[in-house]
A and B are shown apart, each in its own frame.
Chain A
Amino acid sequence: MSIVFFSIVVWIAAWTLNVKLANGTASGTRLVKVIVPTLFGLTLLLVWEMLVRGLNVPLVILPPPSLVVDTMADNLAILWKDFVQTFLKGALRGYLIGCSAAILTAFLVDRFDFLSRGLLPVGNFIAALPIIGTAPILVMWFGFDWQSKAAVVVVMVFFPMLVNTVAGLRETTAMQRDLMHTYAARPAQSFLKLRLPAAMPFMFNGLKISTTLALIGAIVAEFFGSPVVGMGFRISASVGQLALDMVWAEIVVAALAGSAFYGAVAIIEKGVTFWHPSQRGS
């Protein structure tokens, strides 16, 4: 019981410190902006650990973070294999295929105003649908291995990416296009120098949304059938064995992979669209 009491004390102490930091004179500095959320996250982990131990929460309900870390350290080889299967083979390949297919389609569609006017609402509509439901069909078509996972990812990222690219290519104003015309720019030139750069912020928006979708697609598709390796397989198998520490370990890997993937795309975006107001910073 004393641990529970102590955890409450820790929580209050950390929160008071955070309030002090946030309302203090240094609250605008970069350091405080990093410290406050980090402290909050660490307290959360600490309180979780102490509550689980103090209240003797059974392992099948919630494992303490220390056990999850232990499990990760013990099973690095398995986790790595699962990561390779689900992320590198399934999600990443599907992401690359799906996004490039969507961008190429958008370039084609963009040449016909009629088509892009029709495709935008339809694509927006399809992007809001529960496309993840196609997973059982695609698993049936492409087999249990990574090909079917990549196919699910392709279907999932295609429409958000298509809609964003088409919308981005329509972004230039008549004035800007007229300017290119007065420069006697050929259509290819005005595409490369004006419309493509103008579409970049939209395209990166689509690429960023797609990173999360890709990982979700690859993991959930494994619930419908997979070889005995992969993050989705490991999650559903470990849930069946009530080995929740392993499930949490996979979730940590998925979270790290998801954030890293998103972060990588965001860094590329920063390099490509450095001129855009949202990237110039304040």
Chain B
Amino acid sequence: MTQKLLPILTVILALLAAWYVAVVPMNIKSALTTAERAGADVVPAGAKERRDLSAIGLVATNSFAIAATFSQDRPRLPAPHQVASELWKTTVEKKITSKRSLVFHAWITLSATLLGFAIGTGMGILLAVGIVHSRAMDMSVMPWAIASQTIPILAIAPMIIVVLNSIGIQGLLPKAFISAYLSFFPVVVGMVKGLRSPDRMQLDLLKTYNSSAPQSLLKLRLPASLPYLFASLKIGIAASLVGAIVGELPTGAVRGLGARLLAGSYYGQTVQIWSALFMAAIVAASLVALVGVIQRLTLKKMGMS
């Protein structure tokens, strides 16, 4: 355990340290402006004179202001502890029904993600089953499914939202569609590979049992495809979350993590952006971890791991 944990912890600590170091030059100019207003001696005086100077040089000449860079109100780069305390304030200390609670916003995004993920995965599995059973479908659809992975699908997110709005579909569904679309293709490609993974011998065995196509699908192909399915699900669920977040941008939504990002960028609330970002990261990590746990349990129960 320590063999694995120690290097990981070191890397995380190094990243945190780099973040703290970066905070000083990023925030020094605004910290100096505030300090000057409060009557401190700043070299050189005047915000205008300092504008074009290098931030690192300013830190060297005004080392007294270093402490202040970590506690700015609207920092260019908030320090990790500022983000952490904002996260704590907006998750634990706020009621989850409050509009200021990040749990509330995360739930809005998460529900769209999960709905879209369920739709996308279901459709993806269905299409994959069709592709494996029909040669014509395989040859017609598969090249397009693979090619579509190279296309920046996310670019059509704003259009989907607006079009669905104009025919009266609002709220959760438009975002869920984008999520579904993003998780769809990874699942199709992974599932086709998985459903084809049983070898000739196994398929022949089922043939000698006189099993029908649905029977061999249920008893051989589907179980054999599970490891591939889970690998795609992990990619799909992360993509779904990105889809839901981006889906919240174009309509100027007021709820959800994407809306928090957008509002934060409009009003220069950097701490809010960073905390929304970390919340999104936490949600993504938990979703991927959850899929991982289900994968391990299922495969163990089936004797495949």
Contacts and interface: CB of A to CB of B under 8 A. Distances in A.
**A and B part of one assembly:** yes
Interface of A: 15, 18-19, 21-23, 27, 32-33, 36-37, 39-41, 60-62, 114-115, 117-119, 121-122, 125, 128-130, 132-134, 136-137, 139-141, 211-212, 215-216, 219-220, 223-225, 231-232, 235-236, 239, 242, 244, 247-248, 250-251, 254-255, 258-259, 261-263
Given A33-B139, A37-B140, A118 B8 contact: yes
**Majority DSSP secondary structure for residues of B touching A:** helix
Contact of A118 (B11, B76, B281): B11
A122 B14 CA distance: 12
A258 to B, nearest CB: 5
Nearest to B149: A212
B195 interface: no
B155 A140 contact: no
Q: Which 7 A-B pairs have the closest CB atoms?
A: A118-B7, A136-B265, A40-B140, A118-B11, A262-B150, A22-B136, A36-B139
Given A18-B140, A121-B8, A212-B152, A128 B159 contact: no
A153 to B, nearest CB: 12
Given A61-B166, A115-B7, A258-B150, A36 B158 contact: no
Given A18-B140, A140-B270, A133 B277 contact: yes
Contacts of B264: 136
Given A36-B139, A137-B270, A128 B285 contact: yes
Given A115-B7, A128-B288, A133-B276, A61 B12 contact: no
B217 interface: no
Nearest to B251: A239
A136 B151 contact: no
Contact of B139 (A22, A41, A223): A22
Given A23-B135, A137-B270, A216-B155, A128 B284 contact: yes
B191 interface: no
B144 A37 contact: yes
Interface stretch (B35-43, B45-53, B60-68, B242-250): B242-250
A232 B158 CA distance: 10
B57 interface: no
B213 to A, nearest CB: 16
A117 B162 contact: no
A219 B154 contact: yes
A40 B270 CA distance: 48
A263 to B, nearest CB: 8
A133 B156 contact: no
Contacts of B136: 15, 18-19, 21-23, 36
B155 A41 contact: no
B167 interface: yes
Contacts of A61: 163, 166-167
Contact of B158 (A118, A225, A235): A235
B274 interface: yes
B159 A122 contact: no
Given A119-B7, A239-B250, A248-B159, 5 more contacts: A33-B139, A37-B139, A130-B241, A215-B152, A242-B166
**Which label, helix, strand, loop or mixed, suits the secondary structure of the A interface?**
helix
Contact of B262 (A114, A121, A224, A235): A224
A220 B154 contact: yes
A119 B11 contact: yes
B141 interface: yes
Nearest to A214: B152
B159 A141 contact: no
Given A40-B140, A136-B261, A236 B7 contact: no
B250 A219 contact: no
23 contacts: A18-B140, A19-B136, A27-B135, A27-B139, A33-B139, A37-B144, A60-B163, A61-B163, A62-B163, A117-B7, A118-B7, A118-B10, A128-B234, A129-B285, A136-B265, A139-B265, A216-B154, A223-B158, A236-B158, A251-B159, A255-B152, A259-B150, A261-B150
B4 interface: yes
B273 interface: yes
Contact of B155 (A39, A119, A219): A219
Contacts of B285: 125, 128-129
B155 A235 contact: yes
Contacts of B153: 216
A114 B159 contact: no
A105 to B, nearest CB: 12
A250 B155 contact: yes
A139 B270 CA distance: 12
B201 interface: no
B130 interface: no
Interface in B239-285: 241-242, 245-246, 249-250, 257, 261-262, 264-265, 268, 270, 273-274, 276-277, 280-281, 284-285
Contacts of A212: 149-152
B152 A258 contact: yes
